[in-house]
Amino acid sequence: MDEERNLVERGGGYVVLLIVTAVLFFGWRTGLVGGLGETEGQTAVSSTSSLATDSLAANAADQQPTFDFATGDLPVISDNSLDPNPNPHTFQGERPSHAFQMYVVKRGDTPNGIAERFGIKTETLLGGNPHLSQEASLLQTDMELVILPIDGVLHDVQPGDTLEGIAEEYDVAVEDIIAYADNHLEFPYRLYPETQIMVPGAVREVFVWTPPDLASVGGTSREGSGIKPLIVGTGTFQYPVGGRNFSQFYWYGHPAIDIALGEGSSVVAADTGTVTYAGWNVYGYGNLVVVNHGNGFETFYGHLSAISVTPGQIVYKGNVIGLSGNTGNSSGPHIHFEIRVNGVQDNPCWYLGCG
């Protein structure tokens, strides 16, 4: 009986083992078939995708233009996936726009009188009318002048000009130039050649020619670092000509007086001194004589028709030094007379009493 029970138990164990083995076998087969199906599906998809890609590539190739690089026919690559559309226009600022008052010069007008009439400085007349510093065009009747609304200089913009450079040239603040509304300056403050900008508070510089000093004329001697003049003047002055027909008075743009008179009239030394220059001057004076009076004073006699002295010559007050004329930048026969004190141009009327 015990042997039969053992045989049954042993047989049951084999049956269970066979059942488990069969289950595992059929499960493995099922998985294998499914995996093969999935692989075939993926292969089909891949094949379809590859075919589609090849088709698109073929179409793209058909649409590609051909270029002849030998003749300079280069392709233009356009990629705006990240960058915005390019703007072909560069920055264009607004140009200066000025509306100045004009004034026509009348007989008897003077720079000081015109400046006072419009409430500006005499220097500002030159700031808007640079030609006034040229002797030949000084305040001619019927001449038209630009009257600036404020004191300053109307600057002609040249290629290469910058705000910083202009401010440095006239010794003014950049901010003052920007702040003037009619200049229409906005960041990045671009300037345009052949336009004009107003420079508030500026003063146009006037060229001043410097004559030779006493060291350059014969007969002088040195004492230390100084120069001993041949002769010292009296310190008082007389008119260089007999007439009193003033055609131009002293002002910033014309630091001298002009006396109109006939060509060939005698011109005399206004005080005793040494001639340091006698000849043609290329800076507008024409025939010019300069006398150094040995006490800080110098006198200039311009536009002469003839010169009767030489450099290094001593002249006394009242001696004839030449004849009046119309040479150089001159608008008619007259004598141009300057007095300088230690090299600075002063008003001759303070010494002559132009009454």
Q: What is the pLDDT of residues 313-345, one digit of tens each?
A: 999 999 999 999 999 888 789 999 999 999 999
Place of tokens 């001593």: 314
Read off the pTM.
0.61
Over residues 197-224, mean pLDDT = 73
For the segment 62-76, the average pLDDT, to the nearest whole number, is 55
For 193-206, write each residue's pLDDT tens digit: 999 999 999 999 88
The pair of structure tokens assigned to 233 is 């003047």
Q: What is the pLDDT of residues 178-191, one digit of tens each?
A: 999 999 998 888 89
The distance from CA 319 to its chain's CA centroid, rounded to whole angstroms, is 49
Give the CATH class of 214-352: mainly beta
Both structure tokens of 180: 């003037």
Q: Averaged over 129-158, what is the pLDDT?
A: 84
State which amino acid sits at residue 92.
Answer: Q
Ordered by start, the domain boundaries in the chain are: 101-200, 214-352
Q: What's the one-letter identity of residue 205? A: E
Q: What is the mean pLDDT of residues 267-288?
A: 94
Contact 290, 276 (CB under 8 A): yes
Nearest to 145 by CA among 111, 178, 179, 121: 111
pLDDT of residue 315: 96
Closest CA to 183 of 266, 246, 93, 273: 93
pLDDT for 87? 53
pLDDT of the residue at 208 = 81
Architecture of the domain whose range is 101-200:
Roll (3.10)
- The predicted-structure confidence for 225-256, as pLDDT tens digits, reads as follows 344 557 899 999 999 999 999 888 888 888 99
Which of 88, 65, 90, 56 has its CA nearest to residue 192? 90
Three-class DSSP category at 18: helix
Does residue 81 carry a pLDDT above 50?
no
Q: What is the pLDDT of residue 280?
A: 94
Could you please report the per-residue DSSP string of 265-288? -EEE-SSSEEEEEEEEETTTTEEE
